[in-house]
Amino acid sequence: MSARPPHIIEVAIPLHLDRTFHYRVPPGLEGQILAGRRAFVPFGRRRLTGYILGDATEPPSHELKDILEVLDPDPLWTDNELEFFRWVAAYYLHPLGEVLKTALPAGINIQDRKGGSRSGDVSGGRAVKTEVVYRAATPAESAHHLGNKAAAILEVIGEAGDIPAAELRRRFGTCSPQLKRLAELGLVTGETREVYRNPFGDDTVERDTPRLLSPHQQTALDTLCTALDRHAFAPFLLHGVTGSGKTEVYLQAIARVLEQGKNALVLVPEIALTPQLVQRFRARFGHGIAILHSGLSDGERYDEWRRIRRGQARIVIGARSAIFAPLAGIGIIIVDEEHESSFKQADGLRYNARDLALVRGRMEHAVVLLGSATPLITSLYAAEHGKLGLLTLPERVEQRPMPTVELAPMKGVATAISPLLAPALEATLAAGEQAIIFLNRRGFATYLVCAECGAPLACPNCSVSLTYHRQRGQSVCHYCDYAIPAPGICPACGCQELKELGAGTERLEHDLRELLPQARILRMDSDTTGGKGSHGRLLARMSDGSADILVGTQMIAKGHDFPGVTLVGVVNAEASLAMPDFRAAERTFQLLSQVIGRAGRGDTPGRVVVQAQSSDHYAIQHAVRHDGDAFYRQELEFRREVGYPPFTFLACLGFSGTAEKPVEEHAEAVTRMLSQLKREKGLRVEILGPAPAPLYRLRGRFRRQILLKATTRNDLRRLIAAWRQNRTATSPIRESVDIDPVDMM
Ligand code: ADP
Ligand code: ZN
pLDDT tens digits, residue range 151-163? Answer: 888 888 887 777 8
Q: Rounded to an integer, what distance in angstroms lies between the CA atom of residue 683 and that of residue 710?
A: 9
Instruction: Output the CA 723–ligand 2 centroid distance in Å.
Output: 32
For 8-114, which CATH class? alpha beta
Instruction: Output the CA 264–ligand 1 centroid distance in Å.
Output: 20
Check residues 690 and 273 and name the one with the higher pLDDT.
690
CATH of 649-739, one of 3.30.70.600, 3.40.710.10, 3.40.50.11440, 3.10.20.30: 3.30.70.600
Q: Rounded to an integer, what distance in angstroms lies between the CA atom of residue 78 and that of residue 100?
A: 13
Instruction: Output the CA 294–ligand 2 centroid distance in Å.
Output: 24
pLDDT at 587: 93
Locate the ligand 1 atom nearest the alpha carbon of residue 241 and give its number. Answer: 3
Q: Report whether pLDDT(201) > 70.
A: no
Locate the ligand 1 atom nearest the alpha carbon of residue 212 and give its number. Answer: 23
The counts of H helices and E strands in the chain are 19, 31
pLDDT tens digits, residue range 262-273? Answer: 999 999 998 777
Q: Which of 707, 701, 708 lies closest to 656 in space, CA to CA?
A: 701
Q: How confident is the model at residue 116 (pLDDT cuts 50, 70, 90)?
A: very low
pLDDT tens digits, residue range 611-660? Answer: 998 888 999 999 999 999 999 999 999 999 999 999 999 999 999 999 99
pLDDT at 124: 42
pLDDT at 2: 54
Mean pLDDT of the chain: 88
pLDDT tens digits, residue range 384-420? Answer: 999 999 999 999 998 899 999 999 988 888 888 999 9
pLDDT tens digits, residue range 425-436? Answer: 999 999 999 999
**Which residue's CA is the nearest one to ligand 1's atom 15?**
245
Q: How confident is the model at residue 299 (pLDDT cuts 50, 70, 90)?
A: confident
Ligand positioned closest to the Cα atom of 209: 1
Count Cβ atoms below 10 Å from residue 141 Cβ, excluding itself.
Answer: 8
**3-class secondary structure, 414:** coil
Locate the ligand 1 atom nearest the alpha carbon of residue 246 and give its number. Answer: 3
Q: Report whether pLDDT(204) > 90.
A: no
Instruction: Output the CA 592–ligand 2 centroid distance in Å.
Output: 28
CATH fold for domain 215-398 = Rossmann fold (3.40.50)
**Which residue's CA is the nearest one to ligand 1's atom 23?**
213
Q: How confident is the model at residue 128 (pLDDT cuts 50, 70, 90)?
A: low
Instruction: Output the CA 458–ligand 2 centroid distance in Å.
Output: 8
Instruction: Output the CA 598–ligand 1 centroid distance in Å.
Output: 13
**Which residue's CA is the nearest one to ligand 1's atom 19?**
245
Instruction: Output the CA 404–ligand 1 centroid distance in Å.
Output: 20
Neighbour order of strands in the sheet with 483-485: 483-485, 474-476, 467-469, 445-450, 498-503
In a mutational test of the pocket of ligand 1, which residue from 208, 213, 217, 248 has the highest number of ligand atoms less than 8 Å from its CB? 248
Beta-carbon neighbours within 5 Å of ion ligand 2: 459, 461-462, 477, 479-480, 482
pLDDT at 143: 57
Domain ranges (residues) in the chain:
8-114, 130-194, 215-398, 400-444+503-639, 649-739
In a mutational test of the pocket of ligand 1, which residue from 561, 601, 626 has the highest number of ligand atoms less than 8 Å from its CB? 561
pLDDT tens digits, residue range 508-542? Answer: 999 999 999 999 999 998 888 877 778 888 888 99
Instruction: Output the CA 707–ligand 2 centroid distance in Å.
Output: 24
Q: Do domains 8-114 and 400-444+503-639 have the same CATH topology?
A: no
Q: How confident is the model at residue 111 (pLDDT cuts 50, 70, 90)?
A: very low
pLDDT at 3: 61
CATH no. of 400-444+503-639: 3.40.50.300
Ligand positioned closest to the Cα atom of 212: 1
- What pTM value is reported for the model? 0.86
Q: Rounded to an integer, what distance in angstroms lies between the CA atom of residue 670 and that of residue 705?
A: 10
Check residues 51 and 303 and name the one with the higher pLDDT.
51
**Which residue's CA is the nearest one to ligand 1's atom 9?**
245
Instruction: Output the CA 581–ligand 1 centroid distance in Å.
Output: 34
**Which residue's CA is the nearest one to ligand 1's atom 18?**
245
DSSP-assigned letter for residue 700:
T
Ligand positioned closest to the Cα atom of 216: 1
Task: Give me the mean pLDDT over the 27-40 stretch.
Answer: 83
Q: How confident is the model at residue 198 (pLDDT cuts 50, 70, 90)?
A: low
Within 6 Å (CB) of ligand 1, which residues are found? 211-214, 217, 240, 242-248, 397-398, 561, 601
**Which residue's CA is the nearest one to ligand 1's atom 13?**
245
In a mutational test of the pocket of ligand 1, which residue from 209, 339, 397 has the highest number of ligand atoms less than 8 Å from its CB? 397
Instruction: Output the CA 244–ligand 1 centroid distance in Å.
Output: 6
**Which residue's CA is the nearest one to ligand 1's atom 2?**
246
The string of DSSP codes covering 207-236 is ---PPPPPHHHHHHHHHHHHHHHHTS-EEE
pLDDT at 121: 35
User: Counting Cβ atoms within 10 Å, is residue 653 exposed (0-12), middle (13-18) or buried (19+)?
Assistant: buried
Q: Report whether pLDDT(724) > 50.
A: yes
Q: Rounded to an integer, what distance in angstroms lies between the CA atom of residue 212 and that of residue 82?
A: 41
Q: How far is CA 630 from CA 379, 592, 634, in A?
A: 15, 15, 6
Instruction: Output the CA 467–ligand 2 centroid distance in Å.
Output: 10
Q: How confident is the model at residue 141 (pLDDT cuts 50, 70, 90)?
A: low
Beta carbons within 8 Å of 535's beta carbon, 6+ residues apart: 272, 273, 275, 524, 529, 555
Q: How confident is the model at residue 189 (pLDDT cuts 50, 70, 90)?
A: confident
In a mutational test of the pocket of ligand 1, which residue from 247, 335, 558 has the highest number of ligand atoms less than 8 Å from its CB? 247
Instruction: Output the CA 483–ligand 2 centroid distance in Å.
Output: 8
pLDDT at 203: 67
Check residues 691 and 132 and name the one with the higher pLDDT.
691
Q: How confident is the model at residue 107 (pLDDT cuts 50, 70, 90)?
A: low
**CB-CB contact of 331 with 260 (8 Å):** yes
Locate the ligand 1 atom nearest the alpha carbon of residue 336 and give its number. Answer: 2
